[in-house]
Each structure stands twice: as C-alpha cells, then as structure tokens.
Structure 1
Amino acid sequence: MQIQDHPAAAGTNSGAPVGDKHKRDRQDGDGATPDLSSKRMRPPGVRSIGWALVQAARLHRARTGDRLAKLGLFAGQEQVVQALAAAGTMTMGDLAALLRVRPPTASKTVTRLAALGIVERRAESGDGRVVRVQLTEAGLAKAEAIERIQEEVEAELLDHLDKTDRRRLRKLLRKAARGLAEAAGASGQVTEADAEIEAEDETEGLPA
C-alpha cells in the first residue's frame, strides 16, 4: 500500500520545512527580510519645545548634581543656598516666591538644610508666625563652592551660544516659566531681579 504525502507538503518538492514558507512570506519585495533594528527610532514628542527643554534641564541637573553630591547636597538645594547668600535673610514666603515654588516645598528644603547645619531659622521679632531664614557660617562656605559649580556647568550649557543667543534664551525661558507659574497658581509675579534683567536687555536692544 502506497503512503500518501501530507497535505501541508503538497505542491512542494524542495524538502524545506514548513516554517521556511512563513519566513519567505515575511520578506519584502526584494527578497530581503526587513531589519527593524536599522530603522531610526524617534521618541514621542521629540519635535516639541517641552521635550527639548526637559532634555536640556535633565542634563543640566545631572551635571550639577554630580558636583553637588561632593558637597553633600542634592540638586535643587543649591538654589535656596544661593538665594540666601544674595539676600542675607528671607522669610519663608519671600523665599518660595523667589524660587517660584509653593511654600511647603520651600519649607521642606529649608528643614533638610537646617538639619545639615547650612541654614538656621528664627522667628520674627514681635511676630512668631513669621519665620526668617539665613545661612550659617558653614552655609556661606557652601554658597561659595556652589557658585563655582554653577559657573562650570553654565559654561558647558552655553558653550555653543553667542552673547545674543544667551540673552534671548534667558529671556524666553523666563517668559515660559512665568506662564507655567501662572497656570499652576504658584506665582506669576515679576521679581525685582527679573525686572532689572529685562530692563538691561531692552537697553542693549534685545527684542521683546
């Protein structure tokens, strides 16, 4: 008795496994199997301004964070130290407004810095509800080290920008930050420092 061929093999004479047919079906028109790994992968939102801003901020934060870690600080804490170094003493409300963050956020950072002996808090004379913050001697030393770190990272950030581009970028980022602050209800006000810088830009002929 003769044994008949299996239906799946009917019409073939190459003896190739059935799986080879499916492989051939996956081939493109010229007979080559598509190589998905060769396609250029583009992250979602890569063309948005927000995406570019986040990437630049992330890299800037990482570069700053690496250097701050050697001082025993985390990225973000240096902003409080720098603000106090410039102002001498500030209320918690003024500090939060300057940094454009909510008061609880500023308070949490100050608490951590106080535990490190970098800042100290004192109740306002005559009104215990108002708390003023200032740097300790150790905090002043940290402020000087932070300033050097900021100069190093700033030079890396702006290395490919000329003077005009730097002023324009600074101005645009201030406007963007103000818009987000207004949307979040945190603080839409123009600080005195912002007003001074904007006045300087206008004097130098930088377009609004």
Structure 2
Amino acid sequence: MGDKAKLDHGAGVDNTVFDPGSKKLRPPGSRSVGWALIQAARLHRARTGDRLAKIGLFAGQEQVVQVLAAAGTMTMGDLAALLRVRPPTASKTVTRLAALGIVERRAEAGDGRVVRVRLTEAGLAKAQAIEAIQEEVEAELLDHLDKGDRRRLRKLLRKAAKGLAEAAGAAGPASDMDAEMEGEDETDALEP
C-alpha cells in the first residue's frame, strides 16, 4: 500500500490515513491560539518528562518536590490547594514520593488528622536536579525568542490564564503570583 495505509471501515468510503507528507491537511484548530498553546505545552511536558524519568520521577511529581523545596513543611491540604488539585490526588503523589524516600509525612501532634509533609535529604537533591531540568527545557522552549519576545510571552500567558481563572470563578494564589511577576517584568525591562 505504500506510504498511505488504508483502514477497513466500510466499502465506498475513502479510508486514507493522515499522510504527514501532505501539505493539504491541517489539524483542526491549527490556527487557534488554544491549539498552539496545547501543542507547546505537550511538547514541553514531554521534554520535561523524558528528563524526569532519568532521575526516577514521573511528570507531576516534580511540582510537589518544588513546592516543598520552596515552602519547607506543609499540610497536605495546603499542598493540594497550592497545586490546585484535589486532596486525594496530592495524597497519592505524596505516598509515591514517600515510597521513593523523597518526602516524609508526619501527623500533627495534637491532631492526627492533620498531616504535614516535607522533603528528605534525597528530596532536596531531587529538587536541585529538577531545577536544572527545568532550566534546560526552558532554554529549549525559548531558544528562538529574543528577550523582548520572552517577556511579552510570559505576560500574555499570565493574562490568558487570569482570564480563564476568572471565567472559572477561581481565585487565590495566582493573583499574588501575578503581582509578583509583574514586578519581575518591570525589572527585566530595566536590564540592558
């Protein structure tokens, strides 16, 4: 059948499978900003995931490690809220990280229902490795953008995320982060 394969879905129907060499076919939504954003995010996540696998982590686990590296000890509820995930999702990830010796959990002395989590020494080392991975992938992501484009992209993505959060009725840590990052943009503008 050559480069184009046929699927047997019924007689009289053109069952040609997408031919990547064809210039005529475009994915649906390819002119949409959302489509471009999803494709960039998928590629970014794949590049990050490949590197995380080399240090024994799965995509998503690095976020928990990074939050704990920045915050120190946190309750499971605070961790879930900061990551914007449901508590069972955070708990499952923490359980897996604890099995790897990256985090440790302790019940609150006065209230056993409150569980605090923190990084172990091994977790602190993973946090440093994750930071290096993210710097590598960020460099790949931004390689074709000059400093001004990078700053504009960051600002536009924050605005887009803020709009979606408002539409969803979500508020919270993102607003504080927006204000902090706007200050960074002003500092970036002053640099040579």
Residue of structure 1 equivalent to 2:92: 108
How far apart are 1:177 and its partner, in Å?
Answer: 2.9
Task: Using structure 2 for the length normalisation, give the TM-score.
Answer: 0.77
RMSD (Å), alpha carbons: 2.3
Q: Secondary structure at the match of 1:121?
A: strand
> Identical aligned pairs, as a percentage?
85
Which ranges of structure 1 fall in alignment gaps of 5 or more residues? 1-36
Task: Using structure 1 for the length normalisation, give the TM-score.
Answer: 0.72
Query: 1:95 aligned to 2:79?
Result: yes
How far apart are 1:183 and its partner, in Å?
Answer: 4.6
Which ranges of structure 2 fall in alignment gaps of 5 or more residues? 1-20
Going from structure 1 to structure 2, the CA distance change for 1:170 and 1:91 (only over 3 Å counts) comes to: farther
Residue of structure 2 equivalent to 1:170: 154
1:72-151 alignment, distance < 5 Å: 72-151=56-135
Amino acid of the residue matched to residue 167 of structure 1? R
Query: 1:189 aligned to 2:175?
Result: no
Going from structure 1 to structure 2, the CA distance change for 1:175 and 1:108 (only over 3 Å counts) comes to: farther
Q: Secondary structure at the match of 1:47?
A: coil
Q: Secondary structure at the match of 1:132?
A: strand
- 1:68-121 Cα shifts (integer Å, max 9, x gaps): 111111111111111111111112222223222232322221121112111111
Residue of structure 1 equivalent to 2:15: none
Instruction: Please say if residues 119 and 134 of structure 1, whose CA atoms lie closer than 8 Å, have aligned partners that are also in contact.
Output: yes
How many residue pairs are counted as aligned between the two chains? 169
Q: Does 137-146 or 116-125 show the bigger shift?
A: 116-125
Distance 1:204 1:39 in 2: 40
- 1:189-208 Cα shifts (integer Å, max 9, x gaps): 144444311233356669xx
